[in-house]
Structure 1
Amino acid sequence: MGTDVSGFVECRTRYGNGGWQAAIDLELLVDSRDYDAFGCLFGVRNHANFRPLAAGRGLPADASAAVLAAREELPLYSDTTWIGWDELAAVDWDEPAEDTDSRIHQFRRTGQGLQYVGKAGWSARFAEALGLTPPAPGEPRPTWPEGTEWQIGDTLYRSVRLTRRQAVGRKWQPLLALMAALGGLHGAENVRLVVWFDE
């Protein structure tokens, strides 16, 4: 079963009553299932082994009415947290993860060079070639030094360390652009993203 994100961008206007208001529902801006971004930003499904920017902060005490209402609609949710635009604006997007990705990245050799195929937490073909057994539930997956490669048939398997820019990627650019615009109007400290996850 997968993990999805829900939430809102909230804004506190300079000219309003000082309270937070929901600016836009997160589902209109980002893919609801993006584990690299989840791990990098919030420490959820952190397979790429980032130092999370805003893990486990809980629900802001002054959350907007829209956030509170949306949370009430979900029977199960976890890992509620938030991050301000002032924090996101200061991120070093070239910062690498603390360790290599626990998922092995797969490439296929073509006439034009290596073509990225995907990444997987467990590949039966890769495991068989290396003599690995599946990790027990809750047991961490092994990692290897960055750049370690294995050629198995026509597939190249590689251990990769992601940067924050790679993890958040183009999918989250509309969200970041909106937060930047609101921050320009109302002040970076008056814009935040509140999220929660359901599994």
Structure 2
Amino acid sequence: MGADIHGFIECRSRWAGPDDAWSAAVDLELLYEGRNYDAFGCLFGVCNYAGFAPLAADRGLPELISDAARADYEDWDSGAHSSSWIAWSELKRVDWDESAETTDRRIHEYEAVDGTWVLVSKASWSARFAKAAGLPADPATRMGDGYGRMDWPEGTEWRDGDRLYRLERMTRREAVPPEGEWKPVWSVMEALAAVHGDENVRLTVWFDN
């Protein structure tokens, strides 16, 4: 089973005091319907196969969480994990060109299309890749948690006909493209921050498996 993200964009009035409660502005599920592990790892350290230094991992729920967010979280009971939050003020300061701390634990597979290599998948196991790299075909004998953890230099490549396999290091921008599926989330947060201030808008999340 895969991991899914849940949560709310929360907001506090510009005129609120430091101890005033926050309001649930928008349910995250209305803006984001994806399951992008690169983004999850980059933002919150969940399914962090690409090896990012997470922006906001395991902070727990905010002390002054909105009633709607708390009720939704509690509905998950023990199924929820890795709760955290990040303010719009933090997101505005992110260097999206920053590289991950390590190479991706998954091998990046490209297919030749009209003379150009096009990314088709990333996986910790591929029988075709194993053959191209001269590795055991039985996945039970592979080293570590995926071939990407083996001691190969970044950028190492293997060719097999119309396939190219490469060990890569991602950037935050590649994990969370500015025009990608997270754009609606950032747009709503930015709009609320324009009214109430950057520190008064945050994304509160948790995950389930």
Shorter-chain TM-score bucket reads over 0.9
CA displacement at 1:16 relative to structure 2:
5.0
> In the TM superposition, what are the counterparts of 1:3-152 in structure 2 within 5 Å?
3-15=3-15, 18-75=20-77, 76-130=79-133, 131-132=135-136, 134=139, 139-141=144-146, 142-143=149-150, 144-152=152-160
CA displacement at 1:148 relative to structure 2:
1.2
The match for 1:194 is: 204
User: Does 184-193 or 127-136 show the bigger shift?
Assistant: 127-136
1:6–1:32 Cα contact (<8 Å) kept: no
Matched position secondary structure for 1:171: coil
Distance 2:13 2:108 in 1: 44
Structure 1 residue runs without a partner (length 5+): none
The match for 1:168 is: 176
2:43–2:56 Cα contact (<8 Å) kept: yes
Matched position secondary structure for 1:118: strand
CA displacement at 1:147 relative to structure 2:
1.7
CA displacement at 1:135 relative to structure 2:
6.4
Measured against aligned partners, the alpha-carbon deviations of 1:137-156 in whole angstroms (never above 9, x if no partner) come to: xx433153222110023210
2:60–2:83 Cα contact (<8 Å) kept: yes
Q: Number of paired residues?
A: 198
CA displacement at 1:115 relative to structure 2:
1.9
Q: Normalising by structure 1, what TM-score?
A: 0.92
User: Does 71-80 or 109-118 show the bigger shift?
Assistant: 109-118
**Between the two proteins, what is the percent identity of the paired residues?**
53
Distance 1:5 1:110 in 2: 33
Amino acid at match of 1:28: L
CA displacement at 1:108 relative to structure 2:
1.1
CA displacement at 1:31 relative to structure 2:
2.7
In angstroms, what is the RMSD of aligned CA positions? 1.8
Matched position secondary structure for 1:126: helix
Structure 2 residue runs without a partner (length 5+): none
Amino acid at match of 1:148: T
2:34–2:181 Cα contact (<8 Å) kept: no
